[in-house]
Amino acid sequence: MNSSKEMMNSILILLLCVLLSFTSHASSITRQNFCKADLNRPNTPSGYHCLPSDTVTAADFKYSFNGKPGIPLPSKTLAFPATVRQLPILNGLGISVSLGEIEEGGFVPVHDHDADEIVMVLKGQLDVGILTPLKSYCNTLIPGDNMVVPKGLLHYLINSGPGKAVFLAPFSNPNPVFRYLYEELFASDVPSRILSQVSFLDELQVRKNKARFNGTG
């Protein structure tokens, strides 16, 4: 029975050679396993337009943090994002990642983002604190430790050890928006008197911080 099956398979080989040219052509038209962003066209609520999938190569799936300059963040921190802007193949997916380096004594100030995050420490020691109304959740992390930061919750990271701290931070969003509290409060143009009132901060404090962060108003 096996040999007859082998024979049938042999016949199939011939048949398939003919069929596959059709198959390949016909089905490759509709195939879309990924959607590389065309960053030169306007965005939509679901992400960027897709570039033609046959122009995508292996290199499009790869991104290296090595040799990148890093974006300086206060304080003593460099961020190396790998989001849809740097890695357009992430468009339409549910993930992105950033590498962070915090010098000794540095920290990432209070912020949140529209994405769940896991802080994964690679080097040094980090104190990560989540601020929720009335209660905070703070942990000290060493290499091998991780901390979950749910979407929308304010949190901070402090290099609490000697030497540089390095961490990876994946996000549940290909294009997360980072909202630093000091930028929202003090680097903007909301009038100091108003801001003082609605934040319960002294107006002197507000003016001082606005000066520090180039705010106006």
Known binding-site residue numbers: 111, 113, 117, 155
Annotated binding site for oxalate: 113, 117
Q: Does 154 bind its own copies (CB under 8 A)?
A: yes
CB of 10 to its own copies, least distance (A): 10
CB of 169 to its own copies, least distance (A): 9
CB of 40 to its own copies, least distance (A): 11
Torsion angle in degrees (nearest 10) through CA of 213, 99, 61, 69: 60
Q: Does 152 bind its own copies (CB under 8 A)?
A: yes
What's the token pair of residue 60? 């499009």
Which of 83, 165 has the CB closer to its own copies? 83
In angstroms, how far is CA 17 from the centroid of its own chain?
A: 44
Q: Does 125 bind its own copies (CB under 8 A)?
A: no
Q: Does 163 bind its own copies (CB under 8 A)?
A: no
CB of 152 to its own copies, least distance (A): 5
d(CA 78, CA 157): 13
Which of 16, 163 has the CB closer to its own copies? 16
Q: Does 130 bind its own copies (CB under 8 A)?
A: yes
3-state secondary structure of 189: coil
Give the Cα-Cα-Cα angle 72, 143, 79 (nearest 5 degrees): 15
d(CA 66, CA 116): 25
Q: Does 7 bind its own copies (CB under 8 A)?
A: no
Q: How many residues does the chain have?
A: 217
